[in-house]
Amino acid sequence: MNSKSLAMLGLAALSGLGAMYGTSQMLAKNRSQVVIETQEVLVAAHDLKVEEVLKPEYVKVVSMPKASVPAGTFTSYKDVEDRWVLIRTLEGEPILDRKLAPKGSPAGLVSRIHSGMRAFTLEVNEHTGVSGFILPDHRVDVVLSLQGQNGRPEEAETILQDIPVLASGQVFTRPDDRSIQSRTVTLEVSPEQVDILVAARIRGSLSLALRGINDHLRFASVKRNPPPGPVEVSVKPAEPPPVAKLPVPKPEPVRRYVWIYRGLQQSERISLDKDDREPSRDDQAFPSSNP
């Protein structure tokens, strides 16, 4: 190979290396020009429970991609000062306006009731309250049981379905992995449903049936009779068959007669009954008793 060919190969190699270097520099420049826009967002520094008043150490500011920031966020603690948590917020989640109670509003049950709804409290026990496993934010069905004269339930009917629970006793927050032994459960219902519950509580006893987390299916309400209990049977002796009554013969009527004597002879008999046939005078003559 002559020197001219070697020179051509060296020149081609240098050209390739130059092209590669220029391309890499251009790509690096383009990457540096792609800047992800961020925004400062106020997030929870730890898990925040319901009715917990926000303090400076409960929140922190982090940078998030602006495209991922949800609506209703805050950028500083001053925006949420003296506000309390309405909906539980986990660590690292943005502090949202809809999860906080309005500024200056009192904490408690009143702030949890939605507009147009009412809070209605029912008394429960271990049986009617699902052993204390009905907690705030759960959903339940309300069942009416009617009792008979002997104290046993005669009829059961589901009167309300998929009703949210506001509180269990005096507890408005859901505890972690434990039940609440309370004597009352407060439900969020409409004014019409309040009338239904008041009338049902007078008629019989009310029980609660706990629904699954994502179970919002409603079904047609059907009255159901429980299985019958023991029935008391009284044995009554059979009545004897009726005895046929024999006809009583009609007594013969008593006839009244008058006998007419002519001298010493019995000559004629006359009946005193009007319906009696007049006897023949010749046939009714009797012979004389004299020889």
The answer to whether residues 151 and 226 touch, using CB atoms and an 8 Å cutoff, is no
Tell me the mean pLDDT in the region 108-117. 82
Q: Residue 195's pLDDT is what? A: 95
Asked whether the predicted pLDDT for residue 291 surpasses 50, the reply is no
Asked whether the predicted pLDDT for residue 128 surpasses 80, the reply is no
Lowest mean per-residue pLDDT among 19-23, 163-167, 260-264 = 260-264
Asked whether the predicted pLDDT for residue 253 surpasses 90, the reply is no
Q: Residue 132's pLDDT is what? A: 73
Q: Residue 49's pLDDT is what? A: 87
* CA 129/CA 132 separation, integer angstroms: 6
Q: Residue 267's pLDDT is what? A: 65
Q: Which of 206, 225, 223, 211 is nearest to 128 (CA)?
A: 206
Q: Residue 47's pLDDT is what? A: 93
* pLDDT one-digit tens code per residue, 41-86: 999 999 998 878 899 999 999 999 988 899 999 999 999 988 888 8
With cut-offs at 50, 70 and 90, classify the pLDDT of residue 2. low
* CA 196/CA 19 separation, integer angstroms: 83
Boundaries of every domain in the chain: 38-99, 110-210, 256-291
Q: Residue 188's pLDDT is what? A: 95
State how far the alpha carbon of 281 is from the alpha carbons of 54, 94, 259, 267, 288, in Å: 141, 142, 11, 8, 15
Between 21 and 229, the higher pLDDT residue: 21
* CA 130/CA 289 separation, integer angstroms: 119
With cut-offs at 50, 70 and 90, classify the pLDDT of residue 125. confident
Instruction: Determine the residue type at 46.
Output: H
* pLDDT one-digit tens code per residue, 149-206: 776 767 889 999 999 998 888 766 665 556 667 788 999 999 999 999 999 999 998 9
User: Which of these CATH numbers, 3.90.1210.10, 1.10.10.1150, 3.40.640.10, 3.40.228.10, describes 38-99?
Assistant: 3.90.1210.10
The answer to whether residues 143 and 209 touch, using CB atoms and an 8 Å cutoff, is yes
* CA 132/CA 184 separation, integer angstroms: 10
Q: Residue 283's pLDDT is what? A: 45
Cα pseudo-dihedral 88, 89, 90, 96, rounded to 10 = 160
Asked whether the predicted pLDDT for residue 114 surpasses 80, the reply is yes
Pairing verdict, β 205-210 and 184-189 = unpaired
Average pLDDT along the chain: 78
Tell me the mean pLDDT in the region 14-20. 74
* φ, ψ (nearest 5 deg) of residue 195: -60, -40
Asked whether the predicted pLDDT for residue 289 surpasses 70, the reply is no
* CA 53/CA 56 separation, integer angstroms: 10
Q: Residue 196's pLDDT is what? A: 95
Lowest mean per-residue pLDDT among 97-106, 145-154, 216-225 = 216-225
Between 181 and 33, the higher pLDDT residue: 181
If you average pLDDT over each of 5-19, 128-142, 253-267, which comes out highest? 128-142
With cut-offs at 50, 70 and 90, classify the pLDDT of residue 286. very low
Q: Residue 23's pLDDT is what? A: 77
Q: Which of 200, 216, 214, 213 is nearest to 158 (CA)?
A: 200
Q: Please measure the distance between the N-terminal and C-terminal CA atoms of the chain and give it in whole angstroms.
A: 208
